Structure formats: C-alpha cells, structure tokens
Structure 1
Amino acid sequence: MSNEAVYIPVGELADGFARESYVLPAVAPHKSALLLHFPAGGKLSCRFTGDAMLEWNHQPAVPCRITAIRDGIEFIDFVDTQRRSSTLTLICDHHRGCFSLVSGQLPSEQQIRLAAFSRIEQGLPLTGVRVEIRCGRLDGPCNPDSPLHGISPDLIGMRNQYRYNPHECYEHVYLNANNYAWHCLEGVEKGLADVDRCHTIKITERLYLFIWQEKIVPTLGVVLIDMAQLRSDGKILGYQQHNLREITNFAMGAQVSVLNVTRHRE
C-alpha cells in the first residue's frame, strides 16, 4: 500500500513555495496616495510612506507588498494590524479607475475545532476562513454608470496547471461559481486534493482576481490570474504551525497552463 498524503501547516507550505519562487518582483506604488470610494457611500484612504510602507485609513504605517502583473494594475497586500489574524488585499485598476478590496480573517482555535457536521447543523459554512469583497472607485465617487469589477463565470469549466517553482505544481478545476478543486501534483503537499469555497472577480479582459478559503487547514488564497500572459501572482495566508500561535502571509506566483476546458450541456 502507498503512504497517504498528510496535511501540513501553512508555514511548511510557505517554505516549499519559497524555493526558486516565480513571484513577481515588488514595484513602487503607482500613486503616493489613494482614496477609495464605495457604492453605498463611505471612503477609505491610504498613503505610501517610505520603502514598501503603507498608512491605511490613518492607522500607523505597516509593511506592504506591491506587484503589477500588468501595467497599471496593482496588487497591494498587507497584514491588518487592527484585527486578529487578518489581511487586506487591494487590487487597483488605474486604467478604469476602479478597485477590489479583499478583507480576510483566519478562524479562532474554537472555530477551527468545530466539527464539519456541527457546522452543517448550525447552518455555518464549512470553512471558518472569513472573506469580504468590496468593489468601488478610485479617487472619485461611485455613480450608477461607473464601471466596477464584478463576479465572473469565465473560469468555470477550466482545468489549469500552476507551477509555482521547479518543485511545486498544482492543478485547479473550476467547478462552478462557488467551488473549485485543487490537487498537488508535485511538492510538499503531493497527493493532497480537496474542493473548497472560491470567488472569481473579473478585473479586465482575461485578468481575474481569484480567492479561495480552505476548510481543513484554514487557508486564504488571493491571486491575480492573467489568462493572456499565462501567469499568476498573489498570496496565501494561514497559521504558521498547527499550534495556531503565529500567522504566515507569503507571496506566491505561477506559470499557468490550460489543460482542458469542459462545457456542460444546459
């Protein structure tokens, strides 16, 4: 009998992804300050201060990572120091003047140890990882005809392969609007596979913001997938070890291959 694959803490996953990683290099911010306007009203401000530091909504500056998978499209990611085990990821489309903001939070130990059947009984989602996605306009109020990022079905039916470095390779199957399957073909999670909650936001033509929430080992993934350049870049958030004392929020990027596309009959 072959040995069954074992789930590992996210810190060990980060170590595997870090070797000869295909992440994009960091870039300078497109603008020194941003003002985010939401459709229902309300605004948030951010200002870049010094080398890779960000003041978020007048809070003390924190380190951030900024990449640009395309010119004028920024991926800005940082740990949210105002909430426990949380991050914020801001996707800025400076061509169309709009943004998507992803707020993510890992579950507490009590939430993690709640059994799957108990979650079903209580009407809770199977994953304890929480996500909020808000879209809006940059540096100007939202009007009824203002273009905004939106939910997209474009990835549904695709089976893609993602190579994160010479040692780590996964496949994704996008099943429907809310679920995708992942399978580690090579690397520290080789043989592991699952179906998890996901969200897909279209940023612009053939460029998607893909977000997933894993339920077994609490994990949040936020990644831009560029189907024109066939590459991705983003981050993964999780607890460093199974003792749940520290979080890890690490960068990852991949070379993308489309293996096949399935279209179901309506």
Structure 2
Amino acid sequence: MTRDQHPQPEWITVGALAEGFAADNHVLPGRDDLAGRNLTLHFANGGRIEHHFGAQSLRWQDNTNNASGESSYRATSIRSGIYLVDFLKPANQQTHSVSLILDLPRNIFTAVIGQLPSQAETRVDLFSRALAGSELTSVRAQFLHGSIDAPPSADSPQHGPTEELVGLRNQYVYSATEAYEHVYLNRNFYSWQCLKGVEQGLADTDRCHYYKIAEQLYLFVWREKIVPTLGLVLIDLQAGRTDGKIFGYQGTDFTTPSNFPVGALAHVLNRTTHP
C-alpha cells in the first residue's frame, strides 16, 4: 500500500481564515467621507432608520421599531459616490451583520442583513435539510432596498437582481498568499475553489445572490453550508477588483463572531454560454 500523496484538505473556521487573509492583502482602505453626515434610510417596506456617522462609529435610530444603538463601522468606496458601510448589530441576544450599499448619486441603497445559525441548527445534517425541502445552508441573508433621505416613490430606481455574472469563470487574488476561483453557475448557485492559501484544495458549490449596482459593478453575496459563512463583495469588472467582507464564527464554540474585510484583484478567465 502506498501513502496517499494528496491528503484530504482540512476545513477551517472563519477566524482562522481571517488570519490567513490578514497579511499583504488587497483590502481597500477605510474612508471617513461619511463622518459628520446624517443619512436616513427609507425602506421600500415602510421602515425608516436614521444613521449618524462619526469618524469611527455610527449611531442608528430605528423609528419604526423604536430601537437605537451605536456600532463601530467600516466604510469603503470601490467606485465614486458608491459606499459600502459594514457593521455588526446585536439583536435578540445574537449578532447580526449589516452591510449597506449606499448609492449617493441616485440616493438609493441596498441593505444586506446577515444572520449566523445557532450551534443546534448546524447539527442538522444536509440530507435531512434536503428531505425537508429546506436550503442546505443555515446561514440567512435578507435583502432590503429603499431611498436615502426621502421616501421612495413609484419612479425611484432600485438595485435589482441580475444574471450578468452567470457563465463567468473569475480568478480573485486576495493577497500574496491567497487566491480563489469562482464559477457563476446560475441565478442561485456558484462554485468556488481555493487555488492557493489556507484553504488550498478545498472547493464547494454554495447558494448565492447577485444584484446589479451600476454598469459592470455587482453585489455578490454567498452563504456557505459546511462552515457557517456569509460572504459579501462588490465586484467591479471595470476596475478589476473587489471589496467586501466575510462574516462567521471566530472559533468552534459559536460565541464570538468574526467579521473581517476582504478585497481582491479580479480577472475574468472565460465565459461559458449554453445554447
């Protein structure tokens, strides 16, 4: 019997992934452009939340649910006038991820609210989920849209779902040591593999979502089923780069969240079209 020359690669926690992505990376620098500004988000569903931006933290006031709080935030801008604001918000003894895509030229926004599963939810096996007709991933994401500083009208634009990425095979270089490949299969799923880095050799097909923000600028969100993970990036095919974050648990005890920025150099390898 010969020794296996290709041992099974090991799945790691999101906290360990953050450590692997930390050095010599292509993360966009944080911006303080919003410091001192007050922006009120009017949701299409009728809600309204005020956001008061400081240099490093923001105060939010949910006028619909009579709730308020303060969180540290990170703001970046991959394209002029469009900001990604990301922060964590405690809610009902659990931490939610909040990512706001603020489209200031058009005064509209998209909010992505992410929620990680409990330890008990992760113990439900994939076969049982499939038989129950449930999604295979227990990570949840909610997408909300609206306008900034004024209620939306019937004529207000909105970031809409798109299939423009479907068929692309892209390579993303996150740092000197981390590189991945994505294949966008259809409107609900994509496949990924780690070409180089702490997850080298790992690959999977996961649930995903695509929204068009502007020409050649897309919001891409994925929800992994093996290690509970919510990934969110803006993909700018015009600039050839991405900006976003990865949200999950720091370790295996399901007590501490990890929410770290990511950014990559993006290269389109090819596009597959089906007759």
How does the TM-score come out when normalised to structure 1? 0.97
Q: Which is worse superposed, 228-237 or 58-67?
A: 58-67
Give the structure 1 partner of residue 240 of structure 2: 230
Give the structure 2 partner of residue 11 of structure 1: 15
The code of the aligned residue for 1:41 comes to: G
The code of the aligned residue for 2:87 comes to: F
Give the structure 1 partner of residue 136 of structure 2: 126
Note if contact 2:167-2:271 (Cα within 8 Å) is conserved in structure 1. yes
Give the structure 2 partner of residue 64 of structure 1: 73
Give the structure 2 partner of residue 43 of structure 1: 48
Note if contact 1:232-1:256 (Cα within 8 Å) is conserved in structure 2. yes
Q: 1 CA distance for matches of 2:232 and 2:40?
A: 22
Q: 1 CA distance for matches of 2:211 and 2:150?
A: 21
Give the structure 2 partner of residue 91 of structure 1: 101
1:157 to 160, 167, 172: 167
1:243, CA displacement in angstroms? 2.1
Count of matched residue positions in the alignment of Structure 1 and Structure 2: 264
Q: 1 CA distance for matches of 2:61 and 2:206?
A: 32
Note if contact 1:237-1:250 (Cα within 8 Å) is conserved in structure 2. yes
Q: Which is worse superposed, 17-26 or 35-44?
A: 35-44
1:61, CA displacement in angstroms? 1.6
What SS does the corresponding residue of 1:61 show, helix, strand or coil? strand
1:242, CA displacement in angstroms? 1.7
Give the structure 2 partner of residue 184 of structure 1: 194
1:245, CA displacement in angstroms? 2.2
Q: 2 CA distance for matches of 1:150 and 1:57?
A: 26
1:39, CA displacement in angstroms? 2.0
The code of the aligned residue for 1:197 comes to: R
Question: C-alpha offsets along residues 180-218 of structure 1, whole Å, 9 cap, x if unaligned?
Answer: 000000000000000000000111111011100000000
Does residue 31 of structure 2 align to residue 22 of structure 1?
A: no
Name stretches of at least 5 consecutive residues in structure 1 with no aligned partner: none
Q: Which is worse superposed, 56-65 or 73-82?
A: 56-65
1:170, CA displacement in angstroms? 0.1
Q: 1 CA distance for matches of 2:45 and 2:143?
A: 14
1:56, CA displacement in angstroms? 1.9
1:122, CA displacement in angstroms? 2.1
Ranges of 4+ aligned residues in structure 1 off by more than 6 Å: none
Name stretches of at least 5 consecutive residues in structure 2 with no aligned partner: 63-67
Give the structure 2 partner of residue 253 of structure 1: 263
What SS does the corresponding residue of 1:47 show, helix, strand or coil? strand
Identity between Structure 1 and Structure 2 (%)? 47
1:42, CA displacement in angstroms? 2.2
1:134, CA displacement in angstroms? 0.6
Give the structure 2 partner of residue 209 of structure 1: 219
Give the structure 1 partner of residue 65 of structure 2: none
1:34 to 32, 39, 57: 39
The code of the aligned residue for 1:12 comes to: A
1:11, CA displacement in angstroms? 0.6
How does the TM-score come out when normalised to structure 2? 0.93
2:84 to 70, 75, 84: 75
Q: 2 CA distance for matches of 1:213 and 1:64?
A: 22
Note if contact 1:29-1:48 (Cα within 8 Å) is conserved in structure 2. no
Note if contact 1:169-1:187 (Cα within 8 Å) is conserved in structure 2. yes
Note if contact 1:167-1:187 (Cα within 8 Å) is conserved in structure 2. yes
Q: 1 CA distance for matches of 2:131 and 2:179?
A: 36
Does residue 205 of structure 2 align to residue 195 of structure 1?
A: yes
Note if contact 1:20-1:165 (Cα within 8 Å) is conserved in structure 2. yes
The code of the aligned residue for 2:70 comes to: A
